[in-house]
Structure 1
Amino acid sequence: MLIAATDLVALLSPSRIEALADRVRGSMPAERDRSLHQLVTTPAARVALDRLLTTWEQTAISGDVLAGILVGAAYARQQAQREISVELVWTGPTTPFVATRRTEQVLLDLIRHAQSDLFLVSFVAYDVSSVVDALNAAAARGIEIRILLETSASHGGSLSVDPIATMRSCVPSAGLYVWTDRPAPFTEGRVHAKVAVADGSTAFLTSANLTGHALEKNMEAGVVISGGHIPTGLRAHLHALIETKVIRRT
């Protein structure tokens, strides 16, 4: 019953859930209102409602109890949404059917709204003047900035360019980190993650490198997560890599 109610609550607005709760109050499964389906408008919601009603008919739960379950599930969902949000991030061709945020927009927002610390990880970094300007502005207001990048072949990495030197000249106040001591089974490993986390409260996971093409022209996808345990865990993990000397400052 709880699973069926949760599935339905995920597909309907709180006002529709309240209307359903009003309809079932004071009734028993065998007496349920046959017009309940008029309150749902999508095929997925109708299937979820059918599943809930079928489950209800197999119990002796009163309509008052079912109404309480629905209202409680709706409230819990609203609270969870206030505490954590996940948004789709997309660079490249868009359609009018799905709302997305652009990679550059999300990254700049994350940098500009950081309150204490910021950690960025990318494979390469160059040709990103908007990001560089935002990072320097963040540093100027006292934000601690750490950046982990893949290194050039001459410094133990895999790149023909040197993103560390580029970033050092562009954002001189940032702490720059590398992963060059790679024991088995990571001997041929690369810094291929593309993530950013601010204050342990907002995390951005993306396919995009810190390059102009990635932020403006490529087809790139990611998610930005605000609240919850994932940003906190990501920040703690990155800091632990420093503390355990898996990555080192250069």
Structure 2
Amino acid sequence: MILAGVVGTPAGSSSLTQLLEAWASTDVTSNELASMLLTASHVHAKNTVAQSTELVWTGPTTPYVSARRTEQALLQVINSAKHTLFVTSFVAYEVSSIVKGLNAANDRGVTISMLLELSEEHGGSISFDAISQMKALVPSAKLYAWRDKGEPFTNGRVHAKVAVADDHTCFITSANLTGFAMERNMEAGLLYTGGHIPRLLGEHLRALVDTRIVSPM
């Protein structure tokens, strides 16, 4: 009863009740249980510091959920980059703040790679040449395209929208690199700092380049 009084939520009370019931059927002493709980608390706190996940949302908001905006999250990834930055998007236009951030990253010595969808003229599916446009706006970027699409990916498109900095921070989102996506569309995403997700995503994107699944423009 004393323990139940320190838990302030229904979910917490339910978990505590299950713990006490399970403990009652064991030979574990109270000191041993306390040590287990302290260890679990320490591990949880360490993991929380090592990796964080934030909800990102652009569009109508409600008073029930606090979330970062898409443009803020993407700029955080770009601005955090010290060595490498890899960005993918279906289209890219009218994103002056992102272009400014990318060029600032280049000035810091960051190697920038970008994978974008090809135009219809070059075998892709969008009506304008986003790759040439991005090359003009961010001349230092290494630009890639998904050209050779054998089965089962015939007519496939670059629909992934991600940004990874230094294998440490990444943003996975529904938003393209467009003004509407940054300001008007209803878009959702997750921002990861630390942990294994940014590392795995960074390794995968580099492997697409190394194995020539995507090719330089």
* TM category, shorter: over 0.9
Task: Judge which range, 174-183 or 34-43, deviates more.
Answer: 34-43
The alignment partner of 2:33 has SS state of helix
Instruction: State TM-score, norm by structure 2.
Output: 0.98
> Within 5 Å, which residues of 2 pair with 1:34-73?
34-73=1-40
Q: How far, CA to CA, are the matches of 1:40 and 1:95 in structure 2?
A: 28
CA contact (8 A) 2:171 2:190 kept: yes
CA contact (8 A) 2:135 2:141 kept: yes
Q: CA deviation at 1:96?
A: 2.3
Instruction: State TM-score, norm by structure 1.
Output: 0.85
Q: Which of 1 and 2 has greater Rg?
A: 1
Pick aligned residue for 1:163 from 99, 109, 130: 130
Q: How far, CA to CA, are the matches of 2:77 and 2:100 in structure 1?
A: 13
Quote the RMSD (CA, aligned, Å): 0.8
Pick aligned residue for 1:142 from 86, 89, 109: 109
- Name structure 2 gaps, 5 residues minimum: none
> Within 5 Å, which residues of 2 pair with 1:37-116?
37-116=4-83
Aligned to 1:234: 201
Report percent identity of matched pairs: 53
- Residues 1:133 and 2:100 are matched in the alignment: yes
The answer to which structure, 1 or 2, has the higher relative contact order (CA under 8 A, 6+ apart) is 2
Deviation string, structure 1 residues 14-33 (Cα, Å, up to 9, x no partner): xxxxxxxxxxxxxxxxxxxx
Q: Which amino acid is the alignment partner of residue 27 of structure 2?
A: A
Moved over 6 A (4+): none
Pick aligned residue for 2:170 from 188, 203, 207: 203
Q: How far, CA to CA, are the matches of 2:44 and 2:2 in structure 1?
A: 25
Q: How far, CA to CA, are the matches of 1:168 and 1:78 in structure 2?
A: 43
Q: How far, CA to CA, are the matches of 1:59 and 1:137 in structure 2?
A: 60
Deviation string, structure 1 residues 152-194 (Cα, Å, up to 9, x no partner): 1110111111110111111111010000100000012110000
Deviation string, structure 1 residues 65-99 (Cα, Å, up to 9, x no partner): 11011110000000111111111111111122222
Aligned to 2:181: 214
- Name structure 1 gaps, 5 residues minimum: 1-33
The alignment partner of 2:62 has SS state of coil
CA contact (8 A) 2:85 2:165 kept: yes
Deviation string, structure 1 residues 129-165 (Cα, Å, up to 9, x no partner): 0000110111112110000000111101111111101
Aligned to 1:22: none
Q: How far, CA to CA, are the matches of 1:162 and 1:226 in structure 2?
A: 33
- Residues 1:179 and 2:146 are matched in the alignment: yes
The alignment partner of 1:221 has SS state of strand
Q: Across the two proteins, how many residue pairs are aligned to each other?
A: 217
The alignment partner of 1:132 has SS state of helix
Q: Which amino acid is the alignment partner of residue 221 of structure 1?
A: A
Aligned to 2:121: 154
